[in-house]
Amino acid sequence: MSPDGATEVQICSDENGGFHGGYIKTHCLKSELPFCSSSYLPGIALNPFQDSEKLARVVTASAKGFSIGAGIKGGLALFSIIARLRRTRLSSTRKVEVFSNRKAIDLAIKETLRYGLFLGTFAGTFVSVDEIIAYLGGHRRTAKWRSLLAGLIAGPSMLLTGPKTQHTSLAIYILMRAAVLASRCGIKSKRFGKICKPLTWKHGDVFLMCLSSSQVLSAYILKQDSLPPSYKSFLNKHGGKDLSILQGVKDIASGLPFTNLEAIEKYYNSTGVDIKLDPEMKIPCTIIHGNQSCSAHVVSFFLQAYKRALPVYLPVYLIPALIVHRQGLLKR
């Protein structure tokens, strides 16, 4: 016994990853293993968070999760508020917009904190449960299933974003990320390695991106009703084309007679472009870019799309990169 009442315990792991302890001078069952160690613990109860590194891992995961969640949501909200304030300055109904702007700012702060708490709680709970299970059941013995259980226990933390709010898009995104992780594990697996071998193709990610984009854009033009309202609104905003133009492209792609050429002409007239559309056209160049040439339209549309996308994707990718890879960036 130590002077303060602590008992010296010999701790080691067996071949299954289980922990064994004995009083001082007892021999470790597998003393030849390199990961045997001795430590002083109060009484005979072992605390899974006695190791400061494990506790630091929980705190770090929670802090990173909160920073990423608040950073992404806060960044998106910040750009949205800035754009809203700019529109307010140009609007003639400025007094009416002031109150709505305040509400938008309050909502943005609440959403930022909610998403920060969600990811912080999720990460902290996951790591805590993972460490506890590894301690109680052994690191190696529970390696195949403890992450699944930890994820199931941490999952309800999504309720922190709002119990009455549906997050279908977020759930699908998490599911897809889980599928990517599962595919990577499958590639390394002896049992599923052959099945997952096509996933090792060097340009497989590019092919998958092209395939998914073709499906999304096909639905965007031909069947917008199949898309969720929020995603449809997102595509309509960043697609950069008026709905009348999309309808004209849909008509010609479906082999149907044009139904809204007058609406398209009216739209271009409102932008200062005077055109007359041919109902017998086979290639909808004038529908898509008016009097502008194809090559000039590609360049100008790319620059416009870049300006539209930058405020959205900058916080999504830059802020997490600065948080997660800050040490590597500082070394450079």
Where are the domains positioned within the chain? 6-42, 52-165, 239-301
Cα distance between residue 220 and residue 97, in whole Å: 31
Instruction: Kindly report the three-state secondary structure assignment for every residue of 6-36.
Output: EEEEEEEECCCCCEEEECCCCCCCCCCCCCC
Quote the pTM value. 0.54
Q: What average pLDDT score do residues 215-243 get? A: 85
Q: What average pLDDT score do residues 245-271 get? A: 88
**How much is the pLDDT for 184?**
82
| Percent over 70 (pLDDT), the chain | 77
Q: What angle do CA 216, 162, 236 make, to 5 degrees?
A: 25
**How much is the pLDDT for 37?**
40
**How much is the pLDDT for 30?**
38
Who contacts 237 (Cβ-Cβ below 8 Å, separation ≥6)?
A: 308
Q: Looking at this protein, which amino acid is placed at residue 88?
A: T
**How much is the pLDDT for 303?**
93
Residue with tokens 């499958």, as numbered in its chain: 186
